Amino acid sequence: MVLRKQLGPSGIEIPEIGLGTWHYSGGPEPLRCGFEAGAWFIDTAESYGSETVVAEAIAGVRDRVFLATKVSRQNLRRSSLLEAADRSLRQLRTNHIDLYQIHQPNDDIPIEETMGAMEELVDAGKIRFIGVSNFSVRQLQQAQAALQRHSIVSNQVRYNLIDRTIEADLLPYCAANKITVIAYSPLGRELQRLRDADPSGVLQQVAAKTGRSVPQIALNWCLRQREVVVIPKGSSITHVRDLCGGSGWRLEPPELRLLDERIRFRRRSRWELALRRAVPRGFGKVLQPIVRRLPSGIRRRLQ
């Protein structure tokens, strides 16, 4: 059974495990199996190319699904944003989106213009709730201040056992301001990355002790935070069923302590985050061959 959590200040609850669909290749069946297991929450984006498979998966059960999608950062001007929302509605074959998220901030476009367009969409009944993604505390504050009638209910950001950057300031800020954190890449984007950061094998030990799988341990670790829900991606029925078993129970304090103590993680500093934001988009790919030659400790910080 997938437990539910409050969605920010919205007054509604959503499943604490949702189904991610970035680079998703599984067709509608695994997603439907996720619904059957209680994960009635699905995350897509106009840029993922998965809105059409999501439409297939939700056909006939739309009313039960909490449907989240995202507008890309190049579409944050009012007219582009309104057009993008209409395009997503058509692709998803629905008359409303439950959670419409700004995929990434864009400092070149006034936030007042973007948030004004988001509010128009709520008022028109095309979206129910406004969310953001990859926003820092400062960007969240500016976005919230630009809203007149509605609130930001969520911020979708990377959070997992090996990247705990948000624990420094974003997570406490969201907790204090009733903003749900939707944790993306909760399995570290590839399970092997978690294993590489676990030299003493505690993930396997805790999995054996609790009778759970390693992915379930990784998800449940994120879910120990009251305001966090997770959106792992599984492309097969087996993987999705396994992921849904990450909810419905809780790791005990000694197990959490062991994971906290033994798994190597990073918390990016402010300057590191600022540097990453300053690197022009697309330039990261050019740097990849150089980064791959660096010692693993430095490489992990940069990737």
Question: Which residues are at the interface with ligand NAP (CB under 6 A)?
Answer: 20-22, 43, 133-134, 156, 184-191, 215, 231-236, 239, 242-243
Minimum distance, C-beta of residue 242 to ligand NAP, in the bound complex (Å): 4
Minimum distance, C-beta of residue 282 to ligand NAP, in the bound complex (Å): 16
Residue nearest to ligand NAP (CB): 20
Burial class (CB in 10 A: 0-12, 13-18, 19+), 113: middle
Q: Which residues pair with 101 in a beta bridge?
A: 70, 131
Q: Which is nearer to ligand NAP, 46 or 255 (CB)?
A: 46
Cα–Cα distance for residue pair 99/13, rounded to 1 Å: 13
Sign (positive or negative) of CA dihedral 191, 206, 15, 102: negative
Q: Compute the half-sphere exposure of residue 212: CA atoms within 13 Å on the CB side of its CA.
A: 24
Q: Which is nearer to ligand NAP, 83 or 190 (CB)?
A: 190
The tokens of 253 are what?
A: 């304090």
Q: Which residues pair with 228 in a beta bridge?
A: 181
The tokens of 203 are what?
A: 């993930």
Amino acid at 131: G
Other residues' Cβ atoms within 10 Å of the Cβ of residue 100: 26
Name residue, tokens 């680079």: 23
Catalytic residues: 48
Rounded to an integer, what is the distance from CA 70 to the centroid of its chain?
11
Name residue, tokens 């959590």: 5
Q: Which is nearer to ligand NAP, 281 or 293 (CB)?
A: 281
Residue 29 DSSP label: H
Minimum distance, C-beta of residue 22 to ligand NAP, in the bound complex (Å): 3
Other residues' Cβ atoms within 10 Å of the Cβ of residue 213: 17
Residue 80 φ/ψ region, left for φ over 0, alpha for ψ in the -120 to 50 degree band, beta for the rest: alpha
Q: Which is nearer to ligand NAP, 10 or 21 (CB)?
A: 21
Q: Which is nearer to ligand NAP, 41 or 173 (CB)?
A: 41
Q: Which is nearer to ligand NAP, 150 or 239 (CB)?
A: 239
Minimum distance, C-beta of residue 43 to ligand NAP, in the bound complex (Å): 4
Minimum distance, C-beta of residue 46 to ligand NAP, in the bound complex (Å): 12
Cα–Cα distance for residue pair 150/116, rounded to 1 Å: 10
Minimum distance, C-beta of residue 37 to ligand NAP, in the bound complex (Å): 12
